[in-house]
Structure 1
Amino acid sequence: MFKKVIYSILILSTGAILFISYFNRTPERVIPVGQTIVSPANGRVIGIENINSPEIVFFKDDVKNVLSLNDIKPPYTIIVIEMNLKNIHAQRAPIDGEIIYQEHFSGAHKNALTSENLTQLANVNEKNLIVIKNEDISVGVIQVAGLAARRIKSFVNINENIEKGDIYGKILLGSQVVLILPQNLELNVSLGEILIDGESVIAKY
């Protein structure tokens, strides 16, 4: 009996170690050169939307808040990327530049994978927003936590410089990443497309 218990513990421990190693993997990526915007996340495109309002509305602790994005002038285009358990969960910088804004918002952790209202989802879930700016363009990235993904990590700070393709954050378990772009760009992606973090070109500028 004792041996069976030890054996079961060893199996469970090994399984947990393998899962953690698989989940935390960060394979090497070939980062495109030039004035390209790359995908900040590995996952499927589930939403592409044009937003003409200068403000983004969100909820923090069930209280409605309004956020104006620094140096990204409306109209915007947002690209919503869904991640599942099989995807890479590290987030990468979509462009070279300086991090001019970062803010974390707590939320209700509603399920990011099954919500039918993507706008509502982005407003009520825990999230972290950064804005990266260079001489030519500013883009924003929102890490959005879901039901299982109750923790968002950001490894960067305001005023830091970051290179395109650098890992800057991570979401534990599956959720979503929202890329915010100026609307005047010609997109190179479509709904349902699977994107590779740091490699897939979203647009050129």
Structure 2
Amino acid sequence: MTTLAVQLVVLLLLSILIGMWATRFPYPAPWLRRFLSPKLRWPERQIRGWLQNGRFHPGFLGFFNRDPHRVPPPEAGLVAPADGLITSAEVRDGVRYLVIALTFWDMHVQRSPAAGRVVTVEPSGDQLMDGEGRDFSFLREKHCPVQTRIVIDTEEFGRLAVRLITSIAARRIEVWPEEGSMIERGQRLGRILLGSTVVLEMPEALPVCAVVGQRVCAGETLVTAGATP
């Protein structure tokens, strides 16, 4: 009798769990989320739905807003300004544009590639125009690009810039250092709230050690080897 009762309880619990899963299909049920990787826990389609209705899952927001401690490497060189995948390193007029694509599951706090002084913080796109046309591939791919460009003067590497780029769907960008302030290598620069692209502008002469297709971590991964030769 005891065995039968236990079996009935187990079957009842399984029925409840399957019912919870079925009512939320194709998205995971709450009880299942904790056992899944972030990509499976919060599928892209579901996140895009939250972007439209503004009703984000609290667990996803907590995960998205994480800000782990980062330690720059002891080797000389620029560090990546963002977590993500390097998708391009095109050169124009002596400037290399290292493009880092972020997913919904990447950490979204950006960091300074080097120590220096913040010269300007330049927002653009307030009226749904990027101000530069669509000749840059990283702007062509955006719908109504909105960006903030942080220009940094450094002793070792010359003038750098970090662009935080988002779109009309998620156009909130936070920048924390003020113009004229001194910043350290790996220091937090800001955050793109659900944005997806960060671009590091650097002199073409810098010896790049990161490659297209490589995943990088903000403030930790070297993208150049040393200063200008």
Cα distance, 1:100–1:84 mapped onto 2, change above 3 Å: same
Q: 1:141, 1:179 within 8 Å by CA — same for their partners in 2?
A: yes
Matches within 5 A, 1:66-145: 75-106=94-125, 108=128, 117-121=137-141, 125-136=145-156, 137-145=158-166
Residue equivalent to 2:70: 29
Letter of the 1:183 partner, please give it: E
* CA displacement at 1:151 relative to structure 2: 0.8
Matched, 1:195 2:216: yes
* CA displacement at 1:159 relative to structure 2: 0.4
Residue equivalent to 1:155: 176
Letter of the 2:101 partner, please give it: E
Cα distance, 1:82–1:152 mapped onto 2, change above 3 Å: same
In structure 2, what is the Cα distance between the partners aligned to 1:152 and 1:141?
Answer: 13
Q: 1:109, 1:150 within 8 Å by CA — same for their partners in 2?
A: no
Aligned residues: 165
Deviations 1:108-145 (A, max 9, x none): 399xxxxx943534795110001111223221100001
In structure 2, what is the Cα distance between the partners aligned to 1:182 and 1:123?
Answer: 28
Q: More helix per residue: 1 or 2?
A: 2
Query: Any stretches of 5+ residues in structure 1 without a counterpart?
Result: 1-10, 53-74, 111-115
In structure 2, what is the Cα distance between the partners aligned to 1:122 and 1:130?
Answer: 19
Q: CA RMSD for the aligned pairs?
A: 2.3
Matches within 5 A, 1:34-45: 34-45=75-86
Q: 1:109, 1:147 within 8 Å by CA — same for their partners in 2?
A: no
Which 4+ residue blocks in structure 1 deviate beyond 4 angstroms?
A: 121-124
Matched, 1:178 2:219: no
In structure 1, what is the Cα distance between the partners aligned to 2:81 and 2:120?
Answer: 17
In structure 1, what is the Cα distance between the partners aligned to 2:153 and 2:142?
Answer: 22
Q: More strand per residue: 1 or 2?
A: 1
Letter of the 1:31 partner, please give it: P
Q: 1:109, 1:145 within 8 Å by CA — same for their partners in 2?
A: no
Letter of the 2:66 partner, please give it: R
* CA displacement at 1:17 relative to structure 2: 2.2
Please report the TM-score for the alignment, with normalisation by the length of structure 2.
Answer: 0.66
Matched, 1:49 2:68: no
Please report the TM-score for the alignment, with normalisation by the length of structure 1.
Answer: 0.74
Deviations 1:153-186 (A, max 9, x none): 1111110011111111100114100000000011
Cα distance, 1:117–1:95 mapped onto 2, change above 3 Å: closer
With 153-162 and 117-126 compared, the bigger mean Cα shift is at 117-126
In structure 1, what is the Cα distance between the partners aligned to 2:213 and 2:170?
Answer: 22
Cα distance, 1:162–1:19 mapped onto 2, change above 3 Å: same
Between Structure 1 and Structure 2, whose CA radius of gyration is higher?
Answer: 2
Letter of the 1:29 partner, please give it: R
Cα distance, 1:165–1:123 mapped onto 2, change above 3 Å: farther
